[in-house]
Amino acid sequence: MKKFSWLGFDTAFLKEIILASDIPNADLYIDGDDPDSLVSCMNTICSYPDADFILKYRSIIEQKLLLQYKDEVLKVCKALSITEGTFNEKQLAMTRKAASANLINAYIAALLSVSGLDIRDSNYSSFRYTRSVDMKKTPCEEVPLHAYQKDAVSALTKHFIENDKKAGLLVMPTGSGKSRTASCFLIREMVSRGYQILWLVHRHLLIDQAADCFYRFAGLSKIKNPAIRDYRISCISGEHLRISQADRHEILIASVASVCRNKDHLKRILGNKVMIVVDEAHHALAPSYQEVISFVQKHRKNTKLLGLTATPVRANEADSQTLYHIFDDTILFQVSMTDLITKGFLAAPKFHRVETGENFEPIISFDEEKMIRKYSELPETLVGKIAASCSRNALIVNEYLNHKAEYGKTLIFAMNVIHCRLLCTELRKHHVRCGCIYSGYEDNASVIDDFKTGKLDVLVNVNIMTEGSDVPDIHTVFLTRPTQSEGLLMQMIGRGMRGTQAGGTETVNIVDFYDQWDVFRHWLSPEFVITGEYEEETTEKESVKKKMADSYEWELCQDIYRSMVFSAQESNTSIMLPVGWYTLLDSDGETERFLVFENQLDGLRRLVMEKAGWITDTAFDGKAALDRYFGGFEDKPTVEDLDLLLYNFRSNETPPVIHAFESRKQIEPYYVAERAKGSGTDLLTAAAEAYNAYQAVSDIYGSLEAYQMKVCEAAVYNGNQRFIGQKVEELPLERIPFDRTPCYDIEQLADEVNREMFHGELSGLGSIHWSDKPYKTYYGKHFGETHDIVINSVLNSKDVPVDVVKYVLYHEMLHKDNMTHNPEFRAKEHLYPNYEQWDHFLDAEMERFDIKEM
């Protein structure tokens, strides 16, 4: 997947940013036009545009960049609801808008687009930051609903408001507008009455879809409460806010995994009255959902629970009964797909599956495999390969030509812009009245109007028509791109499912082009999504082809290793290079990787050799394996990794094997130094050769100079392991606290922490002092050899509560006896009173300070 880069930006814009920054010797970078030098400097300033970058350089972005990109200005204006006037008037209105989270998100999206990224395929979310709605300026207006949706809202209102009941299920088929119906009820009836909404999903991909409803329909809350003031939407997941960054906001939309791992923070952010919503409620049977629901109900007695599902009946009667019981055995409203089709609200779907016979898996790269497994979607590089297939494209064109009369007005969802234009060109060659639309194409509106009025028979588009463009009489929808996003699939199918009551058609053809997939087989079937009829599932486990595993190198594990290096640096522990990895499957069939280090090999070999003694012993878990086989190892595997390894040994006939990193000895500084010594090669030259030959070197060590230093250190210390140093990024002077007058005695605070948390019995610590300057890398550090503790002087301010400083001190003092952040460490850390409040201050409040030079 393509990554963000400053390389494609106008050099004049980059120079303006560099001049406005506080980077030393900025004039050296702007004398010439060397793009590599400018990009290097920009990466030092900000490697990826974030809120701070937008706020600091907003005027330069507006004056020196966006004026060159008319399409991006129009997209920003659309996001900011600026629709009136000429282009110049829109642009001027844009510059006068307040610096809200919405504006920041829109500007970030524009920068990503200028860099060449399609934000729909870059895991970008417009809800990355909390969205605060200005209720004074938001109009009070109703949201159009179908009759059955209004009936559902009435049923929900009667149950939860008039009868004050606690729980219930809303059962509506996929495509009928469950999210729209539920959010309209929740905003109008619950938010207006002071209820906080906690909307839980099982996948982070579903979060933005729900958040968009709450954002667009915010005005509904003023119908019952015209005086409502606060209306904030925070999304919590690995792609949005961390739960420690969230606050007591009106709308919380979260992945259940992110909440379940950090339930203590719920006590801080939960409102007095809470409405829990479980999207795809059949997932409520999972332990993670049960834990979160029980936790909220325990700490907030005034809690209500709503489940949304299309399929309340589970695979067996016991699960169905359990599910009903969770929601008080109550179905509040239920409508079937058959009812909606019969009444004309939805068109009856006719499914056509076209087998292309194309197999693209042999050309999937390792990076692409990683992205598919991580995000469950095709990366754009692979999309490009599929879109360029001449035989596949010919099949798509011929499918339409061979059934032209039957298919009628046809909407084709293409894979990318190139695919869109290719298909349109080929159809026109066969004298088909065809148009195409895609993001950035100036004539989109006129092309859609031609399609709507019958001047075009076929419209090829890239995601544009998922946004609700009103062309009701579509007879056929072509789906050419595999997806695991039910929301995206339903948006595409929904363009053709408008029934006669909604100005649409009685039937719609859903044509799905299905390629041959052997490993990545779990792309959604339109028929399954619409009808809920389960396809026969294979019991065969997904596996990685051996040829892929044998040649597998650093790419798929580099992110894992980077995080481990960071953790080691943060706790001042050393970390070895891995020698290989296990590819494992968890209980949900998701791929996980367990990195193996050299000094773990003996323990793993003994674990495998003695498996006959534990494989049927269910009491033998990861903790028991850790205690038995890894008691004396410096780099211990985690209990979670060992639990997963044991699970794979017990559930697979073929035991998992370690895949070796063949290049490890080619890059480890000790071996590079040894080879240089043996061949008489200069150390710096040998290091440069390894750096240029192996991508892993730059991933681990960063710059060539840093790697050369490590090779020289290895030669001097003769292979004795040294701590891998962290590149410390100093906090710029303007980020120093606005009140720099020292106000805390750090040694006195340390004594208080010792008395309060260790009963005065913690001994053996070295010196404890403030850092000589403020840093933004970390708040404190414990040095293992001396047990010295240094606390970031940015915290030495009256604007930082004393308990925040003491909490950081306590964290570092715990490292005296535990250098890692393992579960035992976290359990002790959480003993600090109100730790979640101080976590929140460090993760969220510190970022909000306007920290300037004194």
Residues 6+ apart with CB under 8 A from 300: 270, 271, 272, 273, 274
Other CB atoms within a 10 A radius of the CB of residue 319 amount to 13
Residues 6+ apart with CB under 8 A from 363: 385
Q: How confident is the model at residue 550 (pLDDT cuts 50, 70, 90)?
A: very low
Separation between Cα atoms, residue 622 and residue 184, nearest integer Å: 47
pLDDT at 602: 76
Lowest mean pLDDT across 54-63, 337-346, 516-525, 603-612: 516-525
Helix axes 87-96, 70-79, angle to 10 degrees: 60
Residue with tokens 């030509």: 401
Tokens of 118: 């399609």
Grouping H, G, I as helix, E, B as strand and the rest as coil, residue 671 is helix
Higher pLDDT pick, 74 / 22: 74
Are the C-beta atoms of residues 214 and 245 closer than 8 Å to each other?
A: no
Average pLDDT over residues 612-634: 80
Lowest mean pLDDT across 25-29, 167-171, 296-300, 469-473: 25-29
pLDDT at 198: 97
Nearest to 213 by CA among 233, 193, 242, 227: 233
Contacts of 487-491 spanning 24+ positions with Cβ under 8 A:
487/205, 487/206, 487/209, 489/524, 489/526, 489/529, 490/174, 490/175, 490/529, 491/466
Average pLDDT over residues 504-522: 86
**pTM check: above 0.85:** no
Average pLDDT over residues 162-166: 96
Phi/psi class of residue 329: alpha, beta or left (left: φ > 0; alpha: ψ in -120 to 50)? left
Reply yes or no on whether the pLDDT at 532 is more than 60: no
φ, ψ (nearest 5 deg) of residue 319: -65, -40
Query: pLDDT tens for residues 570-592?
Result: 444 444 566 777 888 887 777 77
Q: How confident is the model at residue 730 (pLDDT cuts 50, 70, 90)?
A: very low
Separation between Cα atoms, residue 322 and residue 304, nearest integer Å: 18
Q: What is the mean pLDDT of the chain?
A: 81
- Angstrom CA distances, 494 to 208, 422, 463, 465, stand at 18, 24, 13, 10
Reply yes or no on whether the pLDDT at 245 is more than 80: yes
Q: How confident is the model at residue 771 (pLDDT cuts 50, 70, 90)?
A: confident
Lowest mean pLDDT across 169-178, 269-278, 465-474, 688-697: 465-474
Phi/psi class of residue 589: alpha, beta or left (left: φ > 0; alpha: ψ in -120 to 50)? left
Burial of 526 (0-12, 13-18, 19+ CB in 10 A): buried
Please give the full DSSP string across 738-766, using - where no structure is assigned: S--S----HHHHHHHHHHHHHTT------
Nearest to 654 by CA among 521, 561, 549, 580: 549
Query: pLDDT tens for residues 294-314?
Result: 999 999 999 999 999 887 766
Higher pLDDT pick, 376 / 405: 405
pLDDT at 28: 66
Separation between Cα atoms, residue 544 and residue 541, nearest integer Å: 10
Are the C-beta atoms of residues 620 and 626 closer than 8 Å to each other?
A: no
Lowest mean pLDDT across 238-242, 575-579, 607-611, 780-784: 575-579
Average pLDDT over residues 494-504: 81
Kind and range of the H or E element at 410?
A: strand 410-413
pLDDT at 334: 92
pLDDT at 553: 43
Reply yes or no on whether the pLDDT at 432 is more than 60: yes
pLDDT at 635: 61
pLDDT at 120: 54
Strands (E), 150-241: 167-171, 196-201, 232-236
pLDDT at 663: 61
pLDDT at 669: 77
Lowest mean pLDDT across 43-57, 482-496, 641-655: 482-496
Query: pLDDT tens for residues 329-350?
Result: 999 999 888 888 888 888 888 9
In this structure, the strands spanning 196-201 and 331-334 are: unpaired
Lowest mean pLDDT across 562-566, 568-572, 638-642, 785-789: 568-572
Separation between Cα atoms, residue 575 and residue 723, nearest integer Å: 7
Are the C-beta atoms of residues 19 and 64 closer than 8 Å to each other?
A: no
Q: How confident is the model at residue 425 (pLDDT cuts 50, 70, 90)?
A: very high
Sign of CA dihedral 632, 634, 635, 641: positive
pLDDT at 600: 80
Separation between Cα atoms, residue 350 and residue 352, nearest integer Å: 7
Reply yes or no on whether the pLDDT at 161 is more than 90: yes
Average pLDDT over residues 41-65: 87
pLDDT at 155: 97
pLDDT at 662: 58
Separation between Cα atoms, residue 410 and residue 260, nearest integer Å: 45
